[in-house]
Amino acid sequence: MFSNPEQNIEKVHIDPGMKVADLGSGAGHYSIAAAKLVGPSGNVYAVDVQKELLEKLKMESLQEGIANIELIWADLDEPNGTKLADNLVDRVIIANVMFQVEDKDVLLQEAKRILKPKGKILFIDWSDSFGGLGPQSSDIVRADVARTMFESEGFEFEKDIEAGDHHYGLIFKLS
């Protein structure tokens, strides 16, 4: 099985009415899964630097009748890059983007800034380079390295999750 957003996202416990930020949302597979869980009283902020992927997400969410996703064109390598308010969201999703981010510390600081106290992060990334899909082997951020990066930014490791054959998943929380 390849990585399954619906199954992965269930493990971070997203409830109706929550606010969720999907950092590096891409085509929005995690954004759409989160939008269904938060329901009409919640919000999902899909943040990406690629406008064409945000447009694709907009079209797909309209086709599915989902109206609670806000698209944000932003650069996650810049401080305050999401343009979201401090302590706004209950959950942050960072899936399959760490290898593309130049300043990983800035990304983690931004996640921490927008996350509410006791909020959680679902972090999914590639565990290997699979037949030309995903990052080059040299760009893969191993799970132990990711955990150290998050912990050095003040996140508390909660648990590992099964995230698919070529992915790993980690959940962190703010204390």
The predicted-structure confidence for 80-121, as pLDDT tens digits, reads as follows 999 999 999 999 999 999 988 889 999 999 999 999 999 999
Compute the distance between CA of residue 25 and CA of residue 22 in angstroms, rounded to an integer. 5
Please tell me the CATH code under which domain 5-173 is placed: 3.40.50.150
Nearest to 98 by CA among 119, 112, 84, 77: 77
Res. 162: pLDDT tops 60: yes
Res. 70: pLDDT tops 70: yes
Give residue 175's pLDDT band: very low, low, confident or very high (50, 70, 90): confident
Res. 1: pLDDT tops 60: no
Nearest to 175 by CA among 150, 157, 153, 156: 156
Residue-range domain boundaries for the chain: 5-173
E-only strand ranges, 37-142? 43-48, 69-73, 89-95, 115-126
Give residue 7's pLDDT band: very low, low, confident or very high (50, 70, 90): very high
Give residue 131's pLDDT band: very low, low, confident or very high (50, 70, 90): low
